[in-house]
Structure 1
């Protein structure tokens, strides 16, 4: 991957992931909690959500090939399910929660 491609992916990823690491971490723990149990924080949420959370804490120079694959997947998924302007929009709760597991809240301003 060239430096320009990496920069474009980094920018696209941070454009579509509009939740802060704190917001995403809280959401992953909330979504994973059951009526009587709650997973360990490092196991809360989906694997992709945990990977997104880890990427948010990294510098661009520290990214691995796995990180880049996750970033591409998140950008593609959010882009396929949203308008390109990423303006706030409501929708079905399940749809919103699924996107939030990737770090994208469709109700949050662009």
Structure 2
């Protein structure tokens, strides 16, 4: 691999990591507790459809995010960075769809929280 390719990949990884840590504003323990709540389990798209049961895509992502937050940057794989980019994209798209009014007890907020972002936190 040429040095320019490595440097470019390192820069992308650094950018991805920064964007991910900006998007995910919940701490691992806080996210873990949230994922145990009934509200967390009631939102999101399920791969098998709503009646298909199982875990929602966002809930599964939340579990992955906890692992990512607990790992050192040097331990992250390309697959980890791919998931980080997916999280950043989801948070950005969902934030752009913010409903009007108080969002405290909304499925919109709960879905974002499954992805590690609480829009009520500053």
* TM-score normalised over the length of structure 1: 0.76
Distance 1:2 1:99 in 2: 28
**Distance verdict in 2 for CA 1:3–1:94, change over 3 Å:** same
Residue 27 in 1 paired to residue 40 in 2?
A: no
Out of 95, 100, 108, the residue aligned to residue 95 of structure 1 is: 108
Between the aligned partners of 1:65 and 1:27, the Cα distance in structure 2 is: 27
Look up the match of 1:73.
86
Number of residue pairs the alignment of both structures matches: 94
Unpaired segments ≥5 residues, structure 2: 1-7, 43-54
The aligned counterpart of 2:23 is 16
Q: Distance in 2 between matches of 1:79 and 1:70?
A: 14
Cα offset, 1:80, TM superposition: 1.3
CA distance in 2, matches of 1:27, 1:74: 17
Runs of 4+ in 1 over 3 A off after TM superposition: none
Q: Is the 8 A contact 1:16 1:78 kept in 2?
A: yes
Q: Which structure carries more helix by proportion? A: 2
Which of structures 1 and 2 has the bigger CA Rg? 2
Pairwise CA distance, 1:65 = 2.2
TM-score normalized with structure 2 length: 0.69
How far apart are residue 5 of structure 1 and its match?
Answer: 0.7
Instruction: Please tell me whether residue 50 in structure 1 is matched to residue 63 in structure 2.
Output: yes
Kindly state the Cα deviation for residue 49 of structure 1 after the two structures are TM-superposed.
Answer: 0.8
